[in-house]
């Protein structure tokens, strides 16, 4: 992207005003959710039942523990025994970018630097998958053990939530390479949004169901548990099928598993899939992800809205993300993208949206 193009790119997330609101609201929401999950009424809406004092929020030992955790992840990331994957061409074609008419708050939120590196240490790639995502599973497991200590054994609901989310994180790590083709790596800068999102928001708000269950035990019978497992399996089948199909197609369009699929040629030389998962809706992977999100909340029962926060927030995130991706694809593929939208009219949910 040339400096001129950079200065003309449309502002995202509501521009400086929108990102200022998010800078304040995201940390506040995270604290509110954690306080609410621990309080008796566990209210999603309304003020938290109590506000902790500064001494409860600050501990040098916790800070030390955090640095040890990050240090451990850095050491594992730098281990020489690893596969080196080649990324796609980046939006900036790896040329230097020059700040023109930048807005400090907007740049701080979205990040001016696309893929900051210190030698071979890639900050964004490291943060996307390791400390926060693995930290989420560690927090979940700690909550499960605390529940076992409190009540003698972990509840079925807690086991389901732990198992489902462990599968999600395990899948992300197993298919680690596919993060290279995501919007986060190719398009978004490394600013507050990704750093806070990866390191704080993911481990602490994605573990909300387990936090809720620790303080608000929920009875769960075997038939309901089986039904929830079935919902999770459907979600995972769609999510993995759609992501793998696109990744295989992007890497090698003549791979036998995707060679028979119908495609639309584009002026860039790339093709768009119009059959298979990507012929059902324009973002089948989001649909699978949302069905899984529902399965993570259901073990918490229906007495509170709080455990459904993730599903509500994630729906908003994916609807917004889909709209951003749509704009980028329209700019990239023009007529071919319009043709794709005509052939596959629904975005995420067939016949609804
Ligand atoms: P996607 O993996 O959905 O990729 C979108 C890109 O795919 C487009 O920009 C385009 O890029 C390509 N594409 C779109 N349509 C077609 C088509 N018909 N044929 C071929 N290629 C097509 O992007 P995301 O990064 O948003 O999502 C990745 C995964 O991560 C998803 O499963 C999502 O649910 C999940 N996710 C999870 C989050 C969480 O917090 N749990 C947050 C965000 C995402 P191009 O043509 O350049 O290849």
Total residue length of the chain: 353
From 293, 284, 287, select the one nearest 245 (Cα to Cα): 284
pLDDT single digits (tens) 142-196: 999 999 999 999 999 999 999 999 999 999 999 888 888 787 887 888 889 999 9
Distance CA 117, CA 42 (A): 42
Predicted pLDDT of residue 46: 85
How far does the centroid of ligand 1 lie from the alpha carbon of residue 77, in Å? Answer: 25
Predicted pLDDT of residue 3: 47
Query: Residue 156 to residues 89, 161, 220, 292: CA-CA distances in angstroms?
Result: 46, 9, 7, 18
How far does the centroid of ligand 1 lie from the alpha carbon of residue 182, in Å? Answer: 6
339 CB near ligand 1 (under 6 Å): no
249 and 255 in contact (C-beta within 8 Å)? Answer: yes
325 CB near ligand 1 (under 6 Å): yes
The total of other beta-carbon atoms located within 10 Å of residue 148's CB is 13
Predicted pLDDT of residue 15: 87
**Choice from 236, 286, 348 to test ligand 1 binding pocket (greatest atom count within 8 A of CB):** 286
Predicted pLDDT of residue 9: 67
CA quadruple 230, 231, 236, 237: dihedral sign: positive
Predicted pLDDT of residue 251: 85
211 and 37 in contact (C-beta within 8 Å)? Answer: yes
Q: Is 16 helix (H, G, I), strand (E, B) or coil?
A: helix
Question: What are the residue ranges in the chain where pLDDT is below 50?
Answer: 1-3, 98
Nearest CA to ligand 1 atom 7: 246
Predicted pLDDT of residue 150: 92
240 CB near ligand 1 (under 6 Å): no
**Choice from 313, 325, 331, 336 to test ligand 1 binding pocket (greatest atom count within 8 A of CB):** 325
Quote the pTM value.
0.81
How far does the centroid of ligand 1 lie from the alpha carbon of residue 351, in Å? Answer: 20
Distance CA 82, CA 79 (A): 7
């Amino acid at each position: 992207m040339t400096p001129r193009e950079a200065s003309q790119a449309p502002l995202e997330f509501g521009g400086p005003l929108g990102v200022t609101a998010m800078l304040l609201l995201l940390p506040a929401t995270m604290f509110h959710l954690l306080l609410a999950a621990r309080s008796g009424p566990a209210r999603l809406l309304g003020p938290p039942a109590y506000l902790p004092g500064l001494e409860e929020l600050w501990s040098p030992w916790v800070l030390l523990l955090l640095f040890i955790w990050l240090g451990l992840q850095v050491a594992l990331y730098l281990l020489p025994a690893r596969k080196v994957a080649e990324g796609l061409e980046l939006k900036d074609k790896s040329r230097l970018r020059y700040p023109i008419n930048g807005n400090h708050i907007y740049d701080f939120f979205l990040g001016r630097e696309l893929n900051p590196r210190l030698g071979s240490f890639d900050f964004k790639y490291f943060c996307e998958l390791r400390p926060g995502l693995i930290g989420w599973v560690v927090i979940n497991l700690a909550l499960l053990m605390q529940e076992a200590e409190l009540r003698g054994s972990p509840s079925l609901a807690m086991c389901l939530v732990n198992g489902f989310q462990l599968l999600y994180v395990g899948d992300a790590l197993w298919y680690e390479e596919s993060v290279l083709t995501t919007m986060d790596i190719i398009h978004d800068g490394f600013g507050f949004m990704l750093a806070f999102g990866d390191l704080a928001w993911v481990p602490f708000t994605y573990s909300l169901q387990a936090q809720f269950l620790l303080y608000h035990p929920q009875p769960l019978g075997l038939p309901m548990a089986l039904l929830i497992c079935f919902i999770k399996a459907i979600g995972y089948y769609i999510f993995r099928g759609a992501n793998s199909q696109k990744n295989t197609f992007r890497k090698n369009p003549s791979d036998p598993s995707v060679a028979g699929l119908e495609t639309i040629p584009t002026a860039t030389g790339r093709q768009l899939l119009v059959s298979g998962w990507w012929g059902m809706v324009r973002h089948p992977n989001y649909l699978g992800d949302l069905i899984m999100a529902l399965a993570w909340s259901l073990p918490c029962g229906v007495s509170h809205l709080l455990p459904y926060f993730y599903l509500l927030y994630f729906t908003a995130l994916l609807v917004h993300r889909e709209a951003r991706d749509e704009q980028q694809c329209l700019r990239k593929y023009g007529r071919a993208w319009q043709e794709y939208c005509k052939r596959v009219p629904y975005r995420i949910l067939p016949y609804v949206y």
